[in-house]
Amino acid sequence: MEPRRFRITAEQMKIAIIGYGRMGHEIEKAAISRGHKVVCIIDQDNTADFDSDAFRQADVAIEFTSGATAQENILKSWEQGVPVVCGSTGWLNAGSRKWIDEHVGGRNRLVTASNFSLGVNVMFAANRLMARLFDGYDNYSVNIHEVHHVNKKDHPSGTAITLAEDIMAENSRYDGWVEPEETAPAERDIPITHEREEDVKGIHVVEWDSPICTLTLRHDAKSRDGFAIGALVAAEWLASQQTPGHYTMLDVLAHIHE
């Protein structure tokens, strides 16, 4: 079943794309296939186009750049009155969330996610449930492994970090995460390992292991379509959501079956 569109009227949504790499191209294709119009594309060579009539007419901007530029791009979009769906990874942390809280007031609207894939967000829900059910069973230990394409330089992935943070929130045994290649895990740390291989779209594995059994939760992305479609679903929802604020994919998914 095709993901639901949140647009209240039949009018096509006008979209600005910020970042025209692999994901930017996928979002452009997905937007057109869902009946929307891309009115502005901004990449590193034409950032002056934030201050353009084409950008200002957008109902929403979808931003996939880098952790180094995400905040600046969000602010430039808000200055033009355009809400943002931000998929840049490597910047969502306690400091950035404080920054969002300080800037999201007034008329500003923002959706962020470490991963916009609908399947990954179902995995997030299952991961939280598993962590809660294993709370108190110290004979089970958890580890996380992620695999991505060789062009992804940051590690661990934002998705892996979200998985770890959700486990920490639901299971009293863990209060931190480390990459074993760099730091030896302490008893209360979740180990996160990574690999970089040719043209891997994204694999995430959460494993709970004990002397009795092993339980594995795994998501394999077969293409980037899932990330692009999820970002478009979030954009459709945000365009119809008039209340200013910072939202996540949990807020979006909560409305899919309404």
Which residues are known catalytic residues?
148, 152
Contact 53, 16 (CB under 8 A): no
Chain Cα centroid distance, residue 76 = 20
Size (the chain), residues: 258
Q: How many CB atoms are located within 10 Å of the residue 188 CB?
A: 12
- 3-class secondary-structure state, position 15: strand
Contact 202, 221 (CB under 8 A): yes
Contact 110, 247 (CB under 8 A): yes
Q: How many CB atoms are located within 10 Å of the residue 99 CB?
A: 15
Tokens of 190: 């979740």
Q: What is the DSSP letter of 143?
A: E
**Cβ-count burial of 23 within 10 angstroms (0-12 exposed, 13-18 middle, 19+ buried)?**
buried
- 3-class secondary-structure state, position 153: coil
